[in-house]
């Protein structure tokens, strides 16, 4: 059974217990919804799933802020509650997707965990375009991630590939919506 918006918010709040990171989740949900509306002119978009999955993508931060571990924790938490589609995105938004051997290394089921559906890819891209609650550029966001994770060789080495995937998908999105994503976000306020 799909979560309603209210149920998804209540679930985030129950686990987040007032954590500042929940503002990021709400901001990603708002910006992903805006991008979803723009894409819906040319593609079918499940707006309810898009918003819900964006809101819950970082719920694993209630367990750990490790840059990979929070995705694994979110995957476990939401799988145990039976929210499999949202659980899948918790895992696959990490580094724009994990290969099977990488997933296994971090305790996920040994198969590729990649954002494949349009909604999953939108959330993953938007996560890389929102620093805390503010829209930013891919360049600045990846620089910031690199600096913050300099002591994590696995994560920092994989960031370049994630950046390439994000850039390629953003390029496709901009062709579809006919404007830069940053321009679309300029009128959005950060969720708080
Ligand atoms: Fe995350």
71 Cα–ligand 1 center, Å: 6
Q: Could you tell me the distance, in angstroms and rounded to a whole number, from the CA of residue 76 to the centre of ligand 1?
A: 14
Answer whether 86's CB lies under 8 Å from 52's CB: yes
- Give the single-character DSSP code of 63: T
Distance, in Å, from the CA atom of 114 to the CA atom of 117, rounded to the nearest integer, reads 9
- pLDDT tens figures, 7-48: 999 999 999 999 999 999 999 999 999 999 999 999 999 999
DSSP conformational letter for 129: T
Q: How far is the CA of 86 from the centre of ligand 1 (A)?
A: 13
Q: What is the pLDDT of the chain when averaged over all its residues? A: 95
Locate tokens 């686990």: which residue? 15
CA distance 11 to 1: 14
CA of 125 to the centre of ligand 1 (A): 11
CA distance 95 to 181: 20
18's torsion region: left (phi>0), alpha (psi -120 to 50) or beta? Answer: left
Walking along the chain (192 residues) 10 residues at a time, the average pLDDT comes out as 94 95 98 98 98 98 98 98 98 98 98 98 98 95 96 96 98 97 74 42
80 CB neighbour count, 10 Å cutoff? 9
5-183 domain in CATH 1.10.3210? yes
C-alpha to C-alpha distance for 67 and 91, rounded to whole angstroms:
11
């Amino acid at each position: 059974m799909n979560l309603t918006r209210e149920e998804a918010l209540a679930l985030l709040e129950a686990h987040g217990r007032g954590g500042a990171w929940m503002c990021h989740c709400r901001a990603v949900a708002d910006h992903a919804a805006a991008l979803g509306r723009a894409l819906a002119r040319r593609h079918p978009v499940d707006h309810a799933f898009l918003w819900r999955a964006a809101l819950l993508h970082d719920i694993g931060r209630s367990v750990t802020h490790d840059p990979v571990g929070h995705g694994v924790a979110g995957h476990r938490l939401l799988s145990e509650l039976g929210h499999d589609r949202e659980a899948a995105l918790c895992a696959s938004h990490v580094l724009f997707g994990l290969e099977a051997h990488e997933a296994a290394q971090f305790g996920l089921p040994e198969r590729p965990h990649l954002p494949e559906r349009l909604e999953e890819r939108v959330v993953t891209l938007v996560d890389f375009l929102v620093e805390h609650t503010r829209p930013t550029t891919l360049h600045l966001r990846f620089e910031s991630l690199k600096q913050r994770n300099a002591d994590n060789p696995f994560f920092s080495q994989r960031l370049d590939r994630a950046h390439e995937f994000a850039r390629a998908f953003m390029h496709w999105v901009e062709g579809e919506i006919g404007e830069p994503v940053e321009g679309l976000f300029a009128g959005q306020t950060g969720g708080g």
